[in-house]
Amino acid sequence: MTSLRLTAFFLLFFSKAEAQSWFFPELRNLGAPELAPFEFGVASGDPLPDAVVIWTKLFIESNLPEKVLWEMAADSLFQNLVQTGEEFTYGTSAYTVKVDVRNLDAGTTYFYRFKHGDRYSPIGRTKTASQNSELLRLAVISCADYQNGFFNAFGDIAKRNDLDAVLHLGDYIYEYGVWRGGPRKMMRNRVREHIPDKLCTELKDYRTRYGQYRLDPQLREAHRRHPFIVIWDDHEIANNVTAGGSSDGRAIGDWEARKAAAKQAYFEWMPIRENKERSIVRSFSFGGLAELWMLDGRLEGRSQQAKGPNDPALNSPDRHMLGSKQTDWLLNGMAASKARWKIIGNQVVFSQLNDSKVFDRRPSVRMDRWDGYPAERQHIFDFVEKNGLKNIVVVTGDVHTSWAFELTRNPADPAVYNRKTGKGVVGAEFVTPSVTSFNFDDVAPKFIIVEAKRRFKKKKNNPHLRFVDLNRHGYLTLTLTPERAQSDWYYVKRKDKVDDRVKRKASRFILFNGNRVEK
């Protein structure tokens, strides 16, 4: 073998070996070869009035720079091209491609695709943010555990033609390895297993886990059909994560390295606009109708969770969910906003929630919710009331169940809040159920679910609670008009197999300048 041929042999051998090292090899078995090299599909996100991010990834064996062409058109046949370009992608980003397409028209549907060699990607559909519409409809979704079921909620979202964007409020992936034990009923619901079969702590782990989720046909199709606006919660990094680490003891190894790897993988795989800090904190304008603030209640400034309701640090003003910088950005932005509706995309339940009479008879505060950070929440309500802000809608994920609250400072104080008159109400909080992640139905018999719901709804426990569902999976839509903000909950029939039966089961709304959540 000549030296030239030997060099070529080693280049080819190490190129393939290096390419396989981006992911665990088991991932290849889930691929869609008919889409190669675009087996992970396409995605778009972060719509602005004049811009949108488009995304794809090459699933190839290479360690060289690869050129990808992209096209955006006003029609799905690509006869009316709006913009074209080319990007180089590298192994340093696991061959993901992200383009921030600018100079677009507001409130306009576009179609896009990528090309590598002679192969085209699937055709994506996206939409820029409208600036003069009197109707905005967002799907709101969170908590999709791959092991705990099929993504039928994403499948239903993919079929809809009435959405402006999808808000994903976190737990897009779960960092856990394969379940080895748990409640018997929950273990019966394990329908597929994670790759790799271990806790994600390194970049290769997180990349493989995102790749596994994005090879799910229903999630892939939802991304192809709609722009996503995303934030992380904890499971994209580590369970119950804070700015300083994980509270569950599983933040093993070098925490800063693990956090950096998790953030890198997230920004590689999500259609989120790049920024130097890899921050997810950002806002979106939908003209005079609505403005949206997407928060980071995990890595930006969250203090360690308090040890319990008797922890003297619980009520300290030095403990933060968001941190002072992010809180000021949010509050000053809402005060300056001219939009009719002020929407906050938030990870964990913001409203007070008394569950001490549901699970046991002792006083209880769930430390990972906003209840565990009362001083900063109080500061937000102080500002809202001082500046006369209303028409605030908080949308939330995390708890795997469905809720609607009247947004008020202290629902237990009749001097502050009156359930009958709406005194003290500044808006509403709507909580989306999980896509698949376990809820009451996965771990408890029906009679316990019925009793838990009854206790939650008792007026003396949660007078501001206007809707709760503890045992169904799906998503909600938030529909905004100049007159009202309405949440509609859509539930899947089952999640143990692919099934397209999804129905709207509940609705709640609040009127503009209103002070009641109604149905």
State the average pLDDT over residues 129-135.
Answer: 96
Answer yes or no: do 199 and 271 share one domain: yes
Tokens of 151: 């993504």
pLDDT above 70: residue 380: yes
DSSP 55-113: EEE-----SS-EEEEEEEESSTT-SSEEEEEEEEE-GGGTTEEEEEE-SPPTT-EEEEE
- From edge to edge, which strands make up the β-sheet containing 392-396? 282-286, 290-294, 341-346, 392-396, 425-431, 402-408, 465-469
H or E stretch covering 3: helix 3-20
Tokens of 245: 């680490």
Count CB neighbours of 167 within 10 A.
25
pLDDT above 60: residue 299: yes
Rounded Cα distance, 332 and 336, in Å: 6
Q: Which of 126, 144, 165 is the last residue of a domain?
A: 126
* Residue 253: per-residue pLDDT: 65
Supply the range of the domain harboring residue 478. 129-518
Residue 369 is which amino acid? R
Rounded Cα distance, 494 and 500, in Å: 9
Tell me if 437 sits within 8 A of 396, measured CB to CB: no
Of 67, 49, 50, the residue nearest 104 (C-alpha): 50
Answer yes or no: do 227 and 118 share one domain: no
State the average pLDDT over residues 420-441.
Answer: 96
Q: Which of 101, 126, 151 is the last residue of a domain?
A: 126
Q: Kindly report, residue by residue over 259-296, the tens digit of the pLDDT.
A: 999 999 999 999 999 999 999 999 999 999 999 999 99
Tell me if 109 sits within 8 A of 137, measured CB to CB: no
Rounded Cα distance, 472 and 503, in Å: 11
Answer yes or no: do 309 and 378 share one domain: yes
Answer yes or no: do 77 and 147 share one domain: no
End-to-end CA distance of the chain: 79
Tokens of 94: 């696991």
Question: Can you give the CATH number for the domain in which 33 is found?
Answer: 2.60.40.380
For the chain, the domain total comes to 2
Answer yes or no: do 122 and 134 share one domain: no
Q: Kindly report, residue by residue over 390-409, the tens digit of the pLDDT.
A: 999 999 999 999 999 999 99
Question: Can you give the CATH number for the domain in which 485 is found?
Answer: 3.60.21.70
Answer yes or no: do 103 and 172 share one domain: no
Q: Kindly report, residue by residue over 311-329, the tens digit of the pLDDT.
A: 999 999 999 999 999 999 9
pLDDT above 60: residue 10: no
Answer yes or no: do 419 and 392 share one domain: yes
State the average pLDDT over residues 359-367.
Answer: 66
Which of the four pLDDT bands, split at 50, 70 and 90, describes residue 362? low
Which of the four pLDDT bands, split at 50, 70 and 90, describes residue 13? very low
Answer yes or no: do 264 and 115 share one domain: no
Which of the four pLDDT bands, split at 50, 70 and 90, describes residue 254? confident
Q: What is the 3-state secondary structure (H, E, C) of 479-503?
A: EECCCEEEEEEEEECCCCCCCCCEE
Helix axes 217-225, 203-214, angle to 10 degrees: 80
Count CB neighbours of 401 within 10 A.
23
Bridge partners (DSSP) listed for residue 127: 109
* Residue 111: per-residue pLDDT: 98
Range in 167-171, 214-218, 446-450 the model is least confident about: 446-450
- CB-based contacts of 337: which residues, under 8 Å, 6+ apart? 291
pLDDT above 50: residue 502: yes
Q: Kindly report, residue by residue over 25-83, the tens digit of the pLDDT.
A: 999 999 999 999 999 999 999 999 999 999 999 999 888 999 999 999 999 999 999 99
Count CB neighbours of 286 within 10 A.
26
| Helix/strand/coil percentages in the chain, nearest 5 | 25, 25, 45
Answer yes or no: do 169 and 92 share one domain: no
Q: Which of 74, 92, 126 is the last residue of a domain?
A: 126
Bridge partners (DSSP) listed for residue 294: 282, 345
What's the residue count for the chain? 519
Report H helices in 310-445: 324-336, 356-359, 374-386, 440-443
Residue 22 is which amino acid? W
Of 162, 108, 44, 146, the residue nearest 477 (C-alpha): 162
The model carries a pTM of: 0.94
Answer yes or no: do 70 and 177 share one domain: no
Answer yes or no: do 150 and 29 share one domain: no
Answer yes or no: do 345 and 204 share one domain: yes
Of 285, 412, 309, the residue nearest 363 (C-alpha): 309
Range in 101-105, 262-266, 381-385, 443-447 the model is least confident about: 443-447
Bridge partners (DSSP) listed for residue 142: 434
